[in-house]
Chain A
Amino acid sequence: MTTFTPTTPSEVLSTVQWATAEESPLETVGHGSKRGIGRPQQSEHTLDLSKLTGVTLYEPAELVLSAKAGTPLSEIEKLLAENGQQLAFEPMDYGPLLGGTPGRGTIGGVLAANLSGPRRLKAGAARDHILGINAVAGRGEAFKSGGRVVKNVTGYDLSKLMANSWGTLAVFTDVTFKVLPAAETEVTLAVRGLLDDAAAAAMALALGSSAEVSSAAHLPERIAARVAGRALGADAATLLRVEGFGPSVAYRIAALKTLLKNAGPLQEISGEASHALWRDIRDCAPFADGSEKPVWRVSMAPSQAHQMVLTLRMQIGVSAFYDWQGGLVWLRMEEGDPEAGLLRGLIRKHGGGHATLVRAAPAYRAAVPVFEPQAPHLAALSARLKAEFDPKAILNPGRIAQS
């Protein structure tokens, strides 16, 4: 059991080449903040990237930032904030949900897990903002893909292929992201007291307007009390975030108020209170209870999700709340069993999507497919890709698929 802690890309290359030659699996980690996600691993050795750090290029006027893969996300976000910029995809922090320390995680991990947040709805996920990577493939070859410019169709977009690969194809050494100006003003409009179906309708109405809503979440009764230090109270809250320049935000909030005047009682939340709200929704704070009760992250069509949850509730005890206009469902299974088969069957019945078991006791994660199983042809294609990049299966073997 050895932990490799490279400080340069060439040391990463040496380590992977050695592991490939020895056919000795490596578990790749940054800060280990998402180590609890995926099938539990029993790799012989650990490749710790937390010392491969440093922002190597940041040009605010060019909207571009490059960093070594192990650079703390918090350091990058601080640097961007000092320049009035941000990662617009708002990467979530799994720390609180998984019982870890908040504020940890590396920029490489952001890409490997394709993180995003409430703004995913409008601005996309890590996959939509990655411009280029340097990486070492599992077969022990250092390569680059992409570049530092937004408009680029030169060759296959391997950066996107690596997004959500959970370290199973290649080890990133450098990543380059598009960065964007942070919004000058943020205001959230809350519609209170709606049931899930009415909330879905209200969110669809708002997103179908020209108010440019950047995030839309629904916290059912009681769940609402578990965000932003109980600032919302316990009544259900359907939240619409509007961002931009002051006069525009004021105008669009007014337009939303007119649009939703019959939907329910309205409430405006601005400034730090609004930030705190969306940060807690982003990080799944309502279920950050220190327990190991199974938590699912489900992506499906917004108009279908609440119906799926309703059907599920008739059979088992679950708590649920919604982000992404309802298309992202966070589920906590109150009876302790993940009920993977039941949940995934219902998702298929409601138009399809995917469910990831982001929190569960190790025994469940070993027994239940943590990531959504793929249809046979697609699973075979994914397996062929894995074999091309990592023929000796040394990178995080078994984390995604049983192998």
Chain B
Amino acid sequence: MSGLAMPKPDDATMRRRAEIVADMRIIVPGEGVVDATNEMRAFESDGLTAYRQLPLVVVLPETVAQVSRVLKYCNDRNIRVVPRGSGTSLSGGALPLEDAVLLVMSRFNRVLAIDYPDRVVVAQPGVTNLGITTAVEQEGFYYAPDPSSQIACSIGGNVAENSGGVHCLKYGLTANNVLGIEMVLMNGEVVRLGGNHLDSEGYDLLGVMTGSEGLLGVVTEVTVRILKKPETARALLIGFPTSEQGGQCVADIIGAGIIPGGMEMMDRPAIHAAEDFVHAGYPLDVEALLIVELDGPGVEVDHLIGLVEAIAYRNGSTTCRISQSEQERLSFWAGRKAAFPAVGRISPDYYCMDGTIPRKELPRVLAGMRELSEKYGLGVANVFHAGDGNLHPLILYDANVPGELDKAESFGADILRLCVKVGGVLTGEHGVGVEKRDLMPEMFNQIDLDQQMRVKCAFDPNHLLNPGKVFPQLRRCAELGRMHVHRGQVAFPDVPRF
């Protein structure tokens, strides 16, 4: 683990491990408790594989009552808990702790209700993202957010991370597509937020739960909105001699009032890696490749394809192909979708970053990345959700070369600092987790972070749920709650008047 400090294991908990395991077996009978080292190995890491840690014990509950009892048990005894869905987090959100129960929600794997007139699906949190679409696609419906791990990632994990995907430019993130959840607080209380209706009756706790990275509660049920599949989808594959021209094309498409279903950009190293891997027919003599997908009724798609083609031409595109068949559309995507494994072929390891920037800053950020690439002596390939400014630089390194992982992480941190500097953010869709935790002060001052931690204090005042994630420094809630302004000491003895 390269220099990442996690909360110090609690000795009292470690000493009571056997007793805790036995008690967990009482709460979750049968096969639901895993404590053998070799069996726990499967859970020692998530999608951020550079970090590994065996948990205290793995618990796989099957009922809400079991989740509630596990959490209450742990809360009463000051035992930490790390929740986990499918374990696909790219930021270490589900990284176990040595002294924490790993609460794995994968047995909550049933779709509970499908309501076509109201267009909602109620699912248990362990159902995969794609599993929701699979459940409704025979009626022509789908669930819109489509993170690239959608075959594996769970809908509960999507709520925890506010997952996005290629289509969120037009159809929104998880937060915009979830109508309700049931969750269990660390003290064991079961709370329902929202339902199959819109908006909250009070504070938007559903909004704050979405993207809270498993620090506030454990989701036990999710209600999502489903949509009718668009009649058609077609894509354009457009090459540009410079990334500036590609970036301007993106701005002009949006400026023309067009919100494509997907709009992805790749830089030269990513184009070449992808083409070598899947032979998608990508042009190799361009610096930027843009995939623009338009979906909707055929007449609309045809109309917009004409507009986008003209905009691309005005911006100096050197190639522009328009998909003439579903097969061709999929071939345009094949390279983009295989970009990560393709980069994996040209480098022993790669480290995927996730900053978001204002779109217009793309040329400046790409130039900055080239400089950093030289400084660190590591290559970088870029894929970019161009429509919403979400960058995924892939830093190429070799973990077997001593020091290269550290170098890749420093390079990545510098990229994220650059994103913040140009008005962007540290993470667009992968989450803070442990990965970007210590970079939070780049974006937030202590007062900003204190307000976020106060939310945590309202949900989990003892910092027992997923500690060591998101916040660079844990402050005790009692200390945070103290008022530092006292009557008579304030700088405004008189009523201020403006």
Q: Give A contacts to B, CB under 8 Å.
A: 2, 4-7, 11, 14-15, 17-18, 20-23, 51, 59-64, 84, 114, 116, 120, 124-125, 127-128, 137, 139-145, 147-158, 160-165, 169, 180-182, 184, 200-201, 204, 207-210, 212, 244-245, 247-248, 250-252, 255, 299-303, 324-325, 327-328, 351-354, 356, 371-372, 374-375, 377-378, 381-382, 384-385, 387-389, 391-392, 400
Chain A residues with Cβ under 8 A from B207's Cβ?
A: 127, 157, 160-161, 163
Main secondary structure of the interface of B (DSSP, over half): loop
Q: Are A210 and B230 in contact (CB-based, < 8 A)?
A: yes
In the complex, which residues of chain A have a beta carbon less than 8 angstroms from the beta carbon of B201? Answer: 354, 356, 371-372, 374
Nearest A-chain residue to B357, judged by Cβ: A149
Q: Could you tell me if A4 and B497 are in contact, using CB atoms closer than 8 angstroms?
A: yes
Cα-based distance from A381 to B190 in the complex (angstroms): 11
Nearest A-chain residue to B449, judged by Cβ: A155
Query: Chain B nearest CB: distance from A301 CB in Å?
Result: 4
Min CB–CB distance B69 → chain A (angstroms): 16
Out of A59, A351, A354, A377, name the residue touching B191 (CB < 8 Å): A377
Summed over the interface, the residue pairs from A and B with CB atoms below 8 Å come to a total of 303
Q: Which residues of B contact A20 (CB under 8 A)?
A: 483, 485
Expressed in whole angstroms, the Cα–Cα distance for A55 and B244 within the complex equals 28
Complexed CA–CA distance, A150 and B169 (Å): 8
Tell me whether B3 is interfacial, beta carbon within 8 Å.
no
Task: Please measure, in the bound complex, the distance between the C-alpha atom of A61 and the C-alpha atom of B385, giving whole angstroms.
Answer: 16
Known A-B contacts A302-B118, A377-B191; A248 and B296 likewise in contact (beta carbons under 8 Å): yes
CA distance A42 to B447 in the complex (A): 30
Cβ–Cβ < 8 Å partners of A162 in chain B: 204
Known: A61-B360, A62-B359, A160-B208. A248 touches B498 (CB 8 A): no
The answer on a CB contact under 8 Å between A84 and B257 is yes
Q: How far is the CB of A323 from chain B (nearest CB, A)?
A: 10
In the complex where A160-B175, A244-B300, A251-B297 touch, is A327 in contact with B203 (Cβ < 8 A)?
no
Given pairs A149-B356, A151-B173, 15 additional interface contacts (CB within 8 A): A4-B497, A20-B483, A127-B204, A137-B451, A149-B358, A149-B428, A154-B432, A155-B440, A181-B258, A200-B117, A324-B198, A351-B195, A377-B190, A382-B203, A388-B455
From known contacts A62-B358, A158-B451, A391-B483, infer whether A149 and B118 are also in contact, taking CB-CB under 8 Å: no
> Which residues of chain A have C-beta atoms less than 8 A from B358's C-beta?
59, 62, 64, 148-149
Q: Which 4 A-B pairs have the closest CB atoms?
A: A160-B207, A248-B300, A181-B257, A354-B201
Partner of B202, one of A62, A84, A372, A387: A372
Interfacial chain B residues near A15, Cβ < 8 Å: 496, 498
Chain B neighbourhood of A2, CB < 8 A? 495, 497
Bound-complex Cα distance A351 to B436 (A)? 41
Picked from B211, B385, B496, the residue with its CB within 8 Å of the CB of A14 is B496
User: Which residues of B, 172-201, contact A by the 8 Å Cβ criterion?
Assistant: 172-173, 175-176, 185, 189-193, 195-201
Q: How far is the CA of A306 from the CA of B471 in the complex (A)?
A: 46
The reply to whether the CB of B304 lies closer than 8 angstroms to some CB of chain A is yes
Partner of B428, one of A124, A141, A151, A302: A151
Contact with A along B200-216 (1 / 0, CB 8 A): 11111101101110000
Are A207 and B195 interface neighbours, CB within 8 A?
Answer: no
Contacts of A4 in B (CB 8 A): 496-498
Cβ A375 vs Cβ B448 within 8 A: no
Q: What chain B residues lie within 8 Å of A155 (beta carbons)?
A: 432, 440, 443-444, 448-449, 452, 470
**Contact pick for B255, options A51, A61, A114, CB 8 Å:** A61
Tell me the complex Cα distance, A207–B140, Å.
Answer: 13
Within 8 A of A (CB), among B140-155: 140-141
Q: Is the CB of A210 within 8 A of B228?
A: yes
Q: Which bucket holds chain B's interface residue count?
A: 35 or more
CA–CA, A156 and B161, complex, Å: 10
* Residue pair B448, A145 in contact (C-beta under 8 Å): yes
**Contact call A352/B356, Cβ cutoff below 8 A:** no
CA distance A153 to B431 in the complex (A): 6
| CB–CB A151/B388 < 8 A | yes
C-beta contact mask, B363-390 vs A, less than 8 Å → 1, else 0?
0000000000000000000000100111
Which of chain B's residues have a CB closer than 8 A to the CB of A302? Answer: 117-118
Name the residue on B nearest A377 (C-beta). B189
> Which B199-254 residues sit within 8 Å CB-CB of chain A?
199-205, 207-208, 210-212, 228-231, 251-252, 254
**In the complex, chain B residues 394-451 whose Cβ is within 8 Å of any chain A Cβ:** 423-432, 436, 440, 443-444, 447-451
The answer to the question of B299 belonging to the interface, with a C-beta cut-off of 8 Å to chain A, is yes
How far in angstroms is the closest Cβ of chain B from A277? 21
User: B490 at interface (Cβ–Cβ under 8 A)?
Assistant: yes
Q: Which residues of B contact A5 (CB under 8 A)?
A: 498
A388 is contacted by which of B120, B448, B457, B485 (Cβ under 8 Å)? Answer: B457
B487: Cβ under 8 A from any A Cβ: yes
What residues of B have a CB within 8 angstroms of the CB of A180 in the complex? 259
Q: Closest residue of chain B to A146, judged by CB?
A: B425
Which residue of B has the minimal Cβ distance to A63?
A: B254
User: Does B326 make an interface contact (CB < 8 A)?
Assistant: no
B352 at the interface (CB under 8 A from A): no
Residues of B within 8 A of A200 (CB): 117
Bound CA span A184–B256, Å: 10
Q: List 16 A-B contacts (CB under 8 A).
A: A14-B496, A61-B255, A128-B172, A128-B176, A207-B119, A208-B116, A248-B303, A301-B115, A301-B120, A351-B195, A381-B459, A382-B202, A384-B457, A385-B205, A385-B455, A392-B483
- Residues from chain B with Cβ under 8 Å of A208 in the complex: 116-117, 119, 141, 228
CB distance from B124 to the nearest CB of A (A): 19
- A248 to B301 CA separation, bound complex (whole angstroms): 8
Q: Which of B161, B296, B449 has the most CB of A within 10 A?
A: B296
Indicate if the CB atoms of B481 and A391 lie closer than 8 Å: yes
Tell me the bound Cα distance from A31 to B303 in angstroms: 43
Q: Are A245 and B490 in contact (CB under 8 A)?
A: no
Which listed residue, A11, A169, A210, A377, touches B229 by the CB 8 Å rule?
A210
Q: Which residue of chain A is the closest to B298 with respect to CB atoms? A: A251
Residues A125 and B450 in contact, CB atoms below 8 Å apart: no
Indicate whether B454 reaches chain A with its CB closer than 8 angstroms. yes
B-chain residues with CB within 8 Å of residue A303 when the two chains form the complex: 115, 117-118
CB–CB A154/B427 < 8 A: yes
The answer to whether the Cβ of B283 comes within 8 Å of any Cβ in the partner chain is: no
Shortest beta-carbon distance from A41 to chain B in Å: 17
Which of B298, B385, B428 has the most chain A CB within a 10 Å cutoff? B428
Report chain B residues within 8 Å CB of A161.
203-205, 207-208, 455
CB-CB under 8 A from A137, the residues of chain B are 451
Contact B211 A204 (CB under 8 A): no
Q: Is there contact, CB below 8 Å, between A150 and B451?
A: no
Evaluate contact between B356 and A151: CB separation under 8 angstroms: yes
Q: For residue B444, which residues in chain A have a CB less than 8 angstroms away from its CB? A: 144, 155
Contact A184 B229 (CB under 8 A): no
In the bound complex, do residue A209 and residue B228 qualify as a contact, i.e. CB atoms below 8 Å apart? yes
Of the listed residues A5, A84, A141, the one surrounded by the most CB atoms of chain B closer than 10 A to its CB is A141
Which of B251, B303, B356, B447 is A143 in contact with, Cβ under 8 Å?
B447
A142 proximity list for chain B (CB < 8 A): 447
Whether the Cβ atoms of A18 and B118 lie closer than 8 Å is no
Choose from B203, B300, B390 the contact partner of A251 (Cβ within 8 Å). B300
Evaluate contact between A145 and B451: CB separation under 8 angstroms: yes
| A81–B488 CA distance with the chains assembled, in angstroms | 50
Closest CB of chain B to A72's CB: distance in Å? 19
Evaluate contact between A61 and B455: CB separation under 8 angstroms. Answer: no
For A147, the chain B residues whose CB sits under 8 A away are: 356, 423-425, 443
Give the residues in chain B near A255, CB-CB below 8 Å: 297
